[in-house]
Each structure stands twice: as C-alpha cells, then as structure tokens.
Amino acid sequence: MEVIFIKTLKGQGKEGEIKNVAPGYAENFLIKKGYALKKTEENYKIYQKKLKKLKEQIAYENKEALLIKEKYQEKVITFKVKVSEDSRVFGSISVKQIKEELKKIGLDIDKTQISIDHPISTLGNHFVNINLTKDVILKIIVRLERE
C-alpha cells in the first residue's frame, strides 16, 4: 500500500515522502497515529498544496534570516571575566549569557539556536554559530577580556 508521510518517522519516512508499506502497518500504525495518509488522488493533491505552502513559508523564513545574518554577521560580543595570575579564566561563558547579550543588541533568539563547539573558557575570540533556520547559520564572535 502506498502512503504519503505527513510527519517524519525516524527510520521509516520523511515528511512528503511517498513509500510502499505493508497494508496492516499502514492502517494500524502510520495512518492511525497520524504519520501518513493513504495515497489517493485527492490526498495527493491536498498534500501537494500543503507542501507548496510549507515551501513558501520556509523561503520567507530564510529570506528574513538572511537579513538578520547580514546585520549581525561576525558581531563581537565582549565579556569581562575574572582571571588568575596565569591568565586562566574562572568558569566559562554559558549559552544563557550569550543569549542575554544578544538580546541587549537587538537579537532575540532561543537558546537552543546557539551552538558552541567547546566551552568558552579562555581569553580571546571564539566563534559561535547561531542557527537562524535549518539553512541559515549566523557566526558571531565572543570575546573574553580580562576584568
């Protein structure tokens, strides 16, 4: 039986994908739990319209994110930190602190959008990625300076 996935189900199918699955699995799990629709002409047309709207929404969000990226790309956020005599930083800068500083300069994002590769615990510049959308990533610089 052919089904149209309306939600991504890990290991089975991605949203928008059309797959051939066992009828019992389709009826008793995928359709019942809202992961898929039976592929009929009507369902296919409805889903294509929904998919088109979704693509337009994503394109709009990406356009907005690119404007934000243009404005804030490689913006420097400076933190004054306490350091020991041998220049070791006491503690590290958290995602929450970065979020608060970004909010002060006009960029209000969710902390889950901030991606730090390693703890920010040394003096100097550190690059931080901010995932504005799935396709648009903003890079900012977090600078730690001696207090």
pLDDT at 59: 94
pLDDT at 15: 85
* Distant-in-sequence, close-in-space partners of 71: CB < 8 Å, separation ≥ 6: none
**Domain identity same for 22 and 61:** yes
Strands 137-146 and 114-115 turn out to be: unpaired
The total number of structural domains that make up the chain? 2
* Distant-in-sequence, close-in-space partners of 75: CB < 8 Å, separation ≥ 6: 105, 140, 141
pLDDT at 14: 87
Domain encompassing residue 35: 2-68
One-letter amino acid of 64: E
Give me the mean pLDDT over the 11-27 stretch: 92
**Domain identity same for 142 and 74:** yes
Among 37, 68, 99, the domain boundary falls at 68
Give me the mean pLDDT over the 12-20 stretch: 89
Summarize pLDDT for 39-97 with one digit per residue, the tens. Answer: 999 988 988 898 899 889 999 999 999 999 999 999 999 999 999 888 889 889 999 99
**Domain identity same for 60 and 107:** no
**Domain identity same for 74 and 114:** yes
Which strands, in side-by-side order, build the sheet including 18-20? 18-20, 2-5, 36-38
**Domain identity same for 60 and 109:** no
**Domain identity same for 24 and 64:** yes
The CATH number for 107's domain is 3.10.430.100
Token pair for residue 1?
């039986």
Q: Which residues pair with 130 in a beta bridge?
A: 114, 138
**Domain identity same for 78 and 127:** yes
pLDDT at 87: 82
Lowest mean pLDDT among 17-21, 49-53, 73-77, 102-106: 49-53
pLDDT at 51: 85
For residue 139, the 8-state DSSP code is E
Three-state DSSP class for residue 75: coil
**Domain identity same for 105 and 126:** yes
**Domain identity same for 87 and 49:** no
Strands 18-20 and 2-5 turn out to be: antiparallel
Please answer whether residues 4 and 20 qualify as being in contact, where contact means their C-beta atoms are separated by less than 8 angstroms: no
* Distant-in-sequence, close-in-space partners of 82: CB < 8 Å, separation ≥ 6: 89, 90, 147
The predicted model scores a pTM of 0.71
**Domain identity same for 100 and 51:** no
pLDDT at 46: 87
Q: What residue has token string 């220049």?
A: 87
**Domain identity same for 142 and 130:** yes
**Domain identity same for 64 and 122:** no
Among 15, 45, 68, the domain boundary falls at 68
